[in-house]
Structure 1
């Protein structure tokens, strides 16, 4: 018997585009609907202790593959090794 995957349609938390995903495999973020950010974050991006009521009302919001790919490329750029500069004067002269 083949295993049929259960698919859902939802909006990406970042780009707000609708996409179809497998709820067991999609990357999700816990988001407080009152503030629009994860519990424990302020709207300015600073960390603070998460209040229990904020965690209780928060829901898992999916992230689309395009936004995930963009975030991974951005992380790779941040962690790239620094550029190497040739020494001056060039060797051999």
Structure 2
């Protein structure tokens, strides 16, 4: 007997596109609906202590596979070593 997977339809937190996902496998973010940000983040992107009431009213919001792939690609690019330039003056003939 084949195992039936539970799927839900929701909106991606980042791009706002609707997509179907398995709630057990999708990446989610805890988002405060009052601010639209994760608890403990300011609008300037700085961290601050999360208030208990902000955490209590927050809900998990899904992230679509496309946005997750772009985020991973960005993270890899940020960890890349700096470009290496040839020495000057050039060696050899």
| TM bracket, shorter-chain basis | over 0.9
> Pairwise mapping of residues 1-93 of structure 1 onto structure 2 (< 5 A)?
1-93=1-93
Q: CA RMSD in A?
A: 0.8
Unaligned runs of 5+ in 1: none
CA distances 1:35-67 after superposition (whole Å, capped 9, x unpaired)? 000001112211111111110100000000110
TM-score by length of 1: 0.95
- Structure 1's consecutive aligned runs of 4 or more residues displaced over 2 angstroms after TM superposition are none
TM-score by length of 2: 0.95
Q: For 2:89 and 2:37, locate their aligned partners in 1 and report how far apart those are by CA, in whole Å.
A: 52
Unaligned runs of 5+ in 2: none
**Higher alpha-carbon deviation: 40-49 or 3-12:** 40-49
Q: CA deviation at 1:90?
A: 1.8
Aligned residues: 93
